[in-house]
Every structure is written in structure tokens, then in C-alpha cells.
Chain A
Amino acid sequence: MPIYEQGYQRWNGELQERPLRWWPIVRQGVMAYLPQRKYLLLLGLAWIQKIFDGVQVYGRLKGGEVLEGLLGARVDAGMPFFWASMDNSMIWVVIFTIMVGSDLIAADRRGKALQLYFSKPITRNDYIVGKIGVIATFLLLTTWLPILLLWLFAVMIEPTTAYFARVWSVPLLMTVYSVLLVATAGMIMLAVSATAQRSVFISVTWIVLFGYGFVPVIELVQAITGFEAWSLINMAGNLGQIGAWWFGAETGFDVPPVLALGAVLVGIVAAYWWLRRKIEPVEVVL
């Protein structure tokens, strides 16, 4: 009878704790895109936009009377201003979600890499969190982070209690809103990326599902039926509605923001459910 050496018992390495298993997926995904010149250029453009917002903040807080005289209207750097800055960033949300997200799972499926992922001690949720983390990194770098710095700049140049009392909740609301934004845009993108394989098709489908493609259709249907609730299927519109509600700005549709929030949460759950169904180490075609 052979006597085996039992070599595998020699391993004494420390394993990373369970909650961080998704981190290498995020890191790998981000590092695959970030060093590329086109991504750096786009990130730079996104930040230039925020630098202009910074100039605006300065002008509004320090030269408000002059500006009001010039413009003939009241200028302010309150909550709605920060919301407007976030709303203006939506173009970067679209660009980065498409550029980074469309191939995230589709490439793994094309390359049959899911077999390798799921032969490791990682769960489907680890995989999903890792992949959405890649999208989140780029979206937060172009929305949440610069707006937070913008807020910091504003409270530094206007260090009064009155101003702080008006805008203290910006970081908190912006963080919650960004989480909602990333979850909606990212989860829908991953669901599509796990379903189709061609990047162009994935991108177009995401645009339609996320809402931009629906806007003219929704407006047409609303005009015909006179029923505003059709806008609930427009995820981008719903997010806008929620943001405007939280930051005290004017809302775009007549749909109650609570309903919009419900629709967004349903969209996230539906995309997650679909994604869980589609992610299998071995694709079985019957």
C-alpha cells in the first residue's frame, strides 16, 4: 500500500477574511482600465467640469451681490446647487458605465472565465460586488468625490454657521444618492452584460433600460394618455426625481418622488435577480 506524503498539509498561509473576497476583482477591473489614456482623459474632463463648479461656488459665495446685479437674479450655493452639479455629472455616469461596464461580465463569459472564478472560494455575490465595484470606482470618481470636495471648498470659503446649517447634509445625502445611482446604473449594466456578449448591443440595451432611450417614448405616451406615471419606467428620470426631492430642487415629473424611489428599488432588485440567474460557471444550453 502506498504511503502518501500528504504534502498539502504544509500550507500555513493566512487567508483573507470572507467579506473582502471581492476586492481583488475590483482591483483587477479598475487597473485594467485606469492606466489607459482615454480613461485618464475622460476622468480629467469630468474633473474640469467640477473645477468650473468650484469657480461658480466661489463666485456665488464671495461675489453674490455682483453676480446678482449682473444676472438680475438671485444666486446661491445651497443644496440645489450641489444637486445641479450632480445632475450635470450624469453624462459621465453614462460614458463610464458603458465604457467600463459593458464588457465586465460579457468578457468573462466569452472567455469562459466564470469556470475559473467559481472554482475558487468566492460566491456569486462576491463576484457581483467585485464587478459592480469596478463601475462604482469610476462613477464615484466622477460624481461623489468631486462634489464632496466642492462642498468642502464651499464650507471652507464660507465658514459661517448659517451656511453650514443649510448645507451640512450634502455629504450624507450625496453618499446615499451615489450608492443608489451606482446600484441602479451598475446592476442594470451587469444584468445586460451577463445576458448578451456584444459590447454595442449591451450598451444600447443599457441606455434603453436605464432610461435615456425611453424619454421620447415616455413623453409621447404621457401626451397621448395624459398619465404621468409612465415615467416610472425611466430609471434615470426616477433618480433625477429622487435627487431633486432630497436636495430641495424642482422635480422634472409630476410623479411622487416616493414612487420614483420605489421604482428604482424594484429596478435594482429585478436586475440583481436576473444577474444571479445568469451567472453560472457552466452555461447549460438545452
Chain B
Amino acid sequence: MSVPTTMGPETPVMRPGTAVLECDALTRWYGQVIGVNSVSCTVHPGVTGLLGLNGAGKSTLFKLMAGQLKPSKGRVLLLGHDLAHDIGLYRWIGFCPEQDALYESMTGREMLVYLLRLHGLSPREAGARAEGALVRTHLIDDADRPVGGYSKGMRQKIKLAQAMAHDPAVIFLDEPFNGMDPVSRHESMALIRELGAEGKCVLVSSHILHEVEQMTSTILLIQNGRILAEGNVSDIRDLVERHPHRIAIETDDARALAAILIGAEDVLGVRVEAPTRLIVESNHPRLFFGRLPEVALDGGVPIRGYVTEDDDLKSLFEYLVEDGS
């Protein structure tokens, strides 16, 4: 990580040997309830997914990291400097809130220019940067329409545009794909990957694992206000694979298929739920899925369909909690 050198008049130079963003024992209480509990983590350039179930503390952690909320304890270091003590550091932050925070009567372009002016950019510079951001978010054709008439997906995009338009070092995107149609979602994911490749720290919060996987392999898992795991998605997946997965199989003869599968090494157990429905527990689901068609063909038992019952974020968290304990 090299040092930003072309800073504005009020931004300090990054301290050597420090991360772009670092949380140090970050804690936030809401009265008697703890929202984020002593979170320490480091965020490096590239895209990082912040994953957690609803209510896990993702938004609170995001707001603490972005300086929107004051921590009850701990601190956030941006470029090696305490965010609480230097307002100039906000020049390096881009924040896309989960909720709509828009001026309905302004056009998309006007809103971007206004928000860029708050960064201290001249009207001309703000205009040029707004144009660039509108092009990158595919909103240029609707730039001069009032935001009030934007669809949900366009509103998400304009929030994304304002978060990146001033060329920040760290971009926080809180559930950025909510309400987006598939095309917008695809475009926005591509843009987020690009921003990560440009060397920005992009933090994307989501409660949908596969959504995050499409942008990055680096994730932070949060549950009950604490970081449950951090690292690579494949590491987490390997961890998860030590736990049995439940796979529901629809077949013409569940008992016959059970008899074939029970002897396999990757199958820990089978249960006939109905004459045509079989539940299999496997500790190597990928291996199991790979050879299932062959088994079915060799055994002469037709398989109508199968679904992994617990291949979702909730199960992932359950496994990790069990593993941690």
C-alpha cells in the first residue's frame, strides 16, 4: 500500500506501515443494547464484503467506520489517523447509505454537483466529476431528470455515484443492490469490481452471500455485533465443509436411492422423508454433487431434482458459531 501524495490542504499524509482503514476495539452501545462489540479489523485495497444477517450489526459497524456514528469505545484509523480528530479525512471517504437520502426536487446531476461542492471542489471541477460518475453508473441519460422520478434501482445508482464521484480512498456501500433490477445489479457489480481494481478500499455490506461472492473473495462475517470470521470465501467454505450439509433429493424411489448412497464415503447419513423425497447429510457437498448424476444413472434410480437445504448465509453462521464453540 503506497502513500497518497496529492492530498488536499487539510488531509494528512498516510502514516507509513498503517492500513488504509483500521478499526481498533470499536464498540457501540445503544443504551443497554450493544450494537457493535469490540471489533478490531483491517481493511485493505480491493473489495471486501461485510456479511451478516439482518440485525447482526453491519449497518452500525459501517456507520462507525464511516464516521457517521461516534463509537462508545475504540477508534477508527483512516490512513493511520484517527477519524474522530480530523474532519479533513472525510475527503477520502465515500458513503452510500442503505436508506434513501436524496433531494427529490433536484436532478441527478444537480445533486451530485451539490454534494461534490461540499467536498470543496470548484463548480467546474464538481461538474466534470459529476459527469464522470454519471457515465460510470450508466445514469447519464437520466442525469437531468428530477431524482423524485427515479426508479428504485436508479436511486441506488445515484447514491453509488455520489459515493465515488470525489475519488475517495475508501468507499462504504451499505446494501447497495437493494431494489435493483438484474441489469442494474450486474452493471453496479462490475463497477464495484472496477473500483476495487483501481486500488480503492470498497466495503460492501450485504446479507446475501452469493451477491458478495460475485464481487470479491475477501469477506468479513459479522454476527451479534462481533466479527465472526474474516478472510477468503474459499477458506470459509472449507471451514463450512467440515460440517454436514443437508441435501434434499426428489426421486422416484427414495428407499432405493438411500440404499445406494449410504455406502459412500462423503455421505454421513440418509433419511427417507417421503417415498419420493430423501434427505442426505454430506461432509463434502461439492464431491457429492459431482458424482450424484453418475450414481443415479448406474443405480437406475431417476432423480427429479435436488436442493441444498442449508446453503445459505444463516446456515453458514450457524456452522461457524458451532465451530467457534
A→B interface (CB under 8 Å): 2, 4-18, 20-21, 24-25, 28, 32, 111-123, 281-282, 284, 286
Contacts and interface: CB of A to CB of B under 8 A. Distances in A.
A116 B116 CA distance: 11
5 contacts: A4-B45, A28-B117, A117-B118, A121-B10, A281-B69
Interface string B160-201: 001000011100000000000000000000000000011110
B167 A4 contact: no
A214 to B, nearest CB: 35
Given A32-B105, A286-B30, A119 B66 contact: yes
Given A21-B118, A116-B101, A122-B118, A13 B125 contact: yes
B121 interface: yes
Contact of B120 (A9, A121, A123, A284): A121
B42 interface: no
A9 B115 contact: no
Contacts of A111: 100-104
Interface of B: 1-2, 4-6, 8-10, 30-31, 45-46, 63, 66-69, 87-95, 97, 99-105, 114-115, 117-122, 125, 162, 167-169, 197-200
A-B pairs, top 7 by smallest CB distance, nearest first, are A7-B198, A119-B95, A4-B199, A15-B8, A24-B117, A16-B120, A15-B120
Contacts of B5: 9
B31 A121 contact: no
Nearest to A286: B31
Given A111-B102, A281-B68, A120 B198 contact: no
Interface centre among A4, A9, A12, A121 (most CB of B within 10 A): A121
Contact of A282 (B1, B69, B125): B69
Contact of B119 (A4, A6, A118, A120): A120
A13 B166 CA distance: 10
B183 to A, nearest CB: 25
A113 B103 contact: yes
B9 A17 contact: yes
A33 to B, nearest CB: 11
B4 A9 contact: yes
Nearest to A117: B118
Contacts of A281: 63, 68-69
B200 A8 contact: yes
B118 A25 contact: yes
B101 A115 contact: yes
B148 to A, nearest CB: 11
Contacts of B120: 15-17, 20-21, 121
Nearest to A25: B118
A114 B9 CA distance: 25
Contacts of A286: 30-31
B49 to A, nearest CB: 16
Nearest to A120: B118
Contacts of B88: 121
Nearest to B35: A284
Nearest to A12: B6
Nearest to B119: A120
A250 B66 CA distance: 56
Contacts of A14: 122, 125
